[in-house]
Amino acid sequence: MHLNLSEKIFSFFHRFIEKKYHMKRLSKILRDIAFFKYPTIFDVGGNEGESIDFFLNLYDNPKIYSFEPETKSYQKLLRKYRKNKAINLFKFAFGNRKEELKLKVNVKSSTSTLSKINTKSKYYHLKSLILNRSKNNIFLSEEKVKVKKIDDFFYQKKIKTIHILKIDTEGFEFNVIKGAKKALKKTKIIIIEFQLNDMYLNYNPKRIENFLINNNFTLIAALKFPFMLYEDRIYINKKY
């Protein structure tokens, strides 16, 4: 796939702001509240390894489980990290049940999604205009992906603690945490993306917030990404 000029410019500035500003803010907060010597980290929505690199730089001895369902992105992860014993790569998504779903593959791979799209959304049309001007559609294709529950994986792998659970699944976050009710009791910190736009149908940030509060998580910080309609929220388990 050849990227158009708009997509190249957008990606360049997005990655620059993410690395030089957004991730630095996140790093500062985690250093203050999450000093772990041997952390177990779940990277849900691994994309091309941005979060993996972030956690490798933040901690000396992490054990990272990274989950990426999109074939092209997963292959990039394999090429980059397959020899790193600290990183465990898995090609499937997480949700609230074991099933098979269609992943909508985005022009910008980090925003591929299992969520239903609100085609009337102005934000959706703006992104489509920027990223795929010729077709006014940011989705290139669909691919079938396996979906599992965090709870099942957690107990199958006999994991005792998730020190950091990072979730970036483009509107599918509520499904992910619903499938992690038991594992959340053994989770210390959650970093989860919240949408501040109407691009995804039936997306309800208040529902996600209430679910986390009801499972003993307290909001520590909300970091809005500059110029974009989403933010990363950091929650800490007050009972674990």
Element (H, E) at 144: strand 139-148
- From CA 161, how far away is CA 41, in angstroms rounded? 9
- From CA 45, how far away is CA 165, in angstroms rounded? 11
- The whole-number average pLDDT for the span 133-153 is 85
pLDDT of residue 218: 98
Q: In 10 A of CB 134, how many CB atoms? A: 6
Tokens of 196: 């501040």
Say if CB 34 and CB 164 are below 8 A apart: yes
Q: Give the pLDDT band (50/70/90) at residue 2.
A: very low
- The whole-number average pLDDT for the span 197-223 is 97
- The whole-number average pLDDT for the span 112-135 is 83
With a cut of 50, say whether residue 166 has pLDDT above it. yes
pLDDT of residue 125: 84
- The whole-number average pLDDT for the span 96-102 is 97
Say if CB 64 and CB 86 are below 8 A apart: yes
How far lies 50's CA from each of 45, 132, 167, 179, 202, in Å? 10, 23, 13, 24, 28
Q: Which residues pair with 218 in a beta bridge?
A: 236
The candidate with the shortest Cα–Cα distance to 223, out of 33, 59, 23, is: 23
For the entire predicted model, the pTM comes to 0.93
Tokens of 87: 């990183």
